[in-house]
Structure formats: structure tokens, C-alpha cells
Amino acid sequence: MKSLFPDQFMWGSATAAHQVEGNNLNSDVWVEEHAEGSPYKDKSGDAIDHYQRYREDIALLAGMGLNTYRFSIEWARVEPEPGDYSYAVIEHYRDVLKACYEHGLTPVVTLHHFTSPRWLMRFGGWASSETPARFANYCKFVFEEIGELIPYVQTMNEVNLPVLLKGLFTKMNIVPPVGIDASYWTAPKWREVSAEQCGTTMDRYFTFHMASDDNSIRIVNEAHILARAAIKAIRPDAKVGLSMALSDMQSIPGGEENAQEAWDAIFQPYLAAIQEDDFFGLQNYTREVYGAEGQLPPAMDAELTQMGYEYYPEALENVIRRVASVLKLPILISENGIATDNDARRIEFIRSALSGVQSCIADGIDIRGYLYWSAFDNFEWQFGYSKTFGIIGVNRATQERTIKESGNFLGRIAKNNEIDLTIS
């Protein structure tokens, strides 16, 4: 049985600057990795040296058959000190964008993917009312310089992740999608050290991952609104949105209210700010099941991914339907994927997820593309290099890239713009 996708469907894969570029020295996450008592398993170091090897990497992705590449521009590089912009860094990203076009890939650019410049912490980070304007100024600069090359832009990645993480940590001891270890969440020591390294004190140290209270959520929303306005003023035809991490919140009898509450907590606070957007970046990895007492652990016989959460590709379809029922914006699936060393399971995961996407499209939901997370095995935040999400493997000793079967599988689907649900 074959399923067709709309013409112009965006088939691609995604990365984030800190996770692939290497040596993102000026960012808050780099500081946290190196702080005494750091919860980060590895240091990002050279990562997969994408900052140098982007041309080779982009050529690989295009060669596989993909037509879209989502990557992020690093604020900490573009603006190493407040108001002090680097033209050399802009030239770098200009060339990344050019390489995309030369290889027939549509770029989808994220302007903030978790990391912020160290200096932002001196000004109170994501708890400061000055941050939205600072962020918008950075976005303005990027768009003044290279905006004509950016057709799709996400101001921020997973604005709601901090709320999702907070919820998970307080409810039970499981590992949330981005891989932050619960036991370190409130540990003060390494945060204190990080604050010091950023030239400030704990009371001002407030990273993006902490933005889960009313004040910081308001700041994140305002940052999005100001950034969107700044971008639109320069390039009105750029498609602007943001992304959210959305688990499929399910319930067993008695857990309906808890599941609804969990969904509302991660979705509702951001809705007003995105009404004027051009598209919605939907990101999903798994489901969460709720009972009367709260979230339930995965069943004893459930298959778990390397991240410790349930293998459940059907979650994507459910989340798309739920979002589409309340939000009248085109949807771009800007992340969906699995960490596994069993590539056959990755192929199955992609196939099932896409079959769900296809059925949503058949029902008239406006879905513009599917971007697998991730293009490469890369730096999975606190888990370091131990989690392999990539459709391309990387030997970090030699930086050699190897396309996995799952990469060829996704590439074939992209080239044919259809998925054969029966053949691997």
C-alpha cells in the first residue's frame, strides 16, 4: 500500500548549533558542562565539527534525497557581547544557507535552540524583562544581514520544554525527552559555579531551561512576539513560527483530568503569543499515560528507547490531531525521532510515524513537512554522546560520517514523495 504526500512536502532532518557545531565557548551550556559538579555526562568539545564540515554535511543530506534542512543560528556566536555583533559569524551562516540552496535544500532556521550567550546571565537571563528586546535585537541583526536567505524561521525551539521538564520532575523519576537528569535539577552547587563563570550570581542566573514560572513564560512569549515583529519588519514574506515539545497525553479510566491538566500546562500558556504566526512547529517523541494518581510509568513489557521513555511512534498522529483541532495554523513537524542503536527499529519508528502523518493529511490537516530528529548522532545535552538519534552516524575520533539504512529509507520516501507501508 502506498501513501502519497502533497507536492512541495518538506522532507528533512534537523540539528541544533550547540549539539553539532563544536566549541560553542560563549554559551551558557558550555559553562554548565564545565562547572564543577556538572550534571553533563560529557563535554560537547568539538561536537561533530559541523561548524567546519557543514558543506560536506549538507551535501550528504541532499544526496540522500532530502529537500529541507533545519539548523540553528547560535546567538552566543553572533553576539559575543551585548550589542557587539560578529560579521565573520554572519558570513559563516550566510555560507551555510548558500550551501543549502546549492544543494536544493530549503533552510528552516531556528534562532534560539536552548543555548543563550553567557552575558545574558549578567542581565538576569530569561527572568529579565529586558531579555525580549535583547533577543529581538539579535534576530533583527540576523535578518538585516542574511534574512533574504531565510524562508522559514523558528524564533525559539520548544518554548514549553521547561514546563514539561518541571512537570515530569515533580511527578516521577523518569528521564524527560531532552535528557535532563532530575536529580540535578535543583542542585545548587554547579549552578552557583556556572553563575560565577558567567560573571554573575545565582539570583541573576536564569537559563532558558528554567523558564517555567509565570514571569519567565511571559518573557519567553514576549520575546517571540518582539522577534516576530522585528523579522517581519525586515522580511514580511518570511514564514515565522516557534516550536513546542508535545507529548501525547493519554489516560486510563480515572486519569482523564490529570492528562488534560498535563496537556493544558504545556500548551495553553503559549497559545495567545502564536496566533499571528505563519506556521506551528510540532515536536513529539513519545506519550505520557495518566491514572487517577498521576503519571504512570511505562508498562513492564513496554519497549523503551535509549532515553528511557516508551517507543510509541503513534504519538505523533495523536498530537497532530489534537493541535489541529484548536490551532488553525499550518503544521511543520520540526522534530520527531528516536534514540536507538537498532536502526531497524528506527526505520519502523519513522514508518509508523509517517503513516500517522499521512492519515492526518488525508483528513485535510495542513501539514507542510516532516523533519526527523536528528540528521546526525550528536551531543544529547546532559546525556552527552551516549544517545544516538541520527540517521547519519559519526565516528567522533575521525569525524567520519556514515549514512544509516534509516537515512536511506527516509531519503527514498523523500525522493518518491510517498511511503510504501509494506516494504523496508
Residues that bind ligand BGC (CB under 6 A): 16, 19, 157-158, 161, 177-179, 245, 335, 373, 380, 389
CB of 387 to ligand BGC, least distance (A): 7
Residue with cell 513496554: 302
CB of 104 to ligand BGC, least distance (A): 25
Secondary structure (3-state) at 337 = coil
- Would you say 335 or 348 has its CB closer to ligand BGC? 335
CB of 175 to ligand BGC, least distance (A): 10
Cα–Cα nearest to 78, from 34, 2, 159, 137? 137
Using the Cα atoms of residue 148, residue 150, residue 152 and residue 153 in order, give the sign of their dihedral.
negative
Q: Which residues on neighbouring strands pair with residue 280, listed in sequence order? A: 331
- Would you say 205 or 389 has its CB closer to ligand BGC? 389
CB of 419 to ligand BGC, least distance (A): 23
- Would you say 318 or 336 has its CB closer to ligand BGC? 336
The x, y and z cell numbers of residue 114, run together, are 536552548
Cα–Cα nearest to 372, from 413, 408, 333, 405? 333
What is the separation, in whole angstroms, between the first and last Cα of the chain? 12
Residue with cell 514564514: 239
CB of 1 to ligand BGC, least distance (A): 30
- Would you say 19 or 340 has its CB closer to ligand BGC? 19
* Backbone torsions φ then ψ of 366, nearest 5 degrees: -85, 95
- How many other C-beta atoms are found inside a 10 Å radius of the C-beta of residue 54? 21
- Would you say 123 or 169 has its CB closer to ligand BGC? 169
CB of 290 to ligand BGC, least distance (A): 21
**CA 30/CA 201 separation, integer angstroms:** 17
- Would you say 30 or 373 has its CB closer to ligand BGC? 373
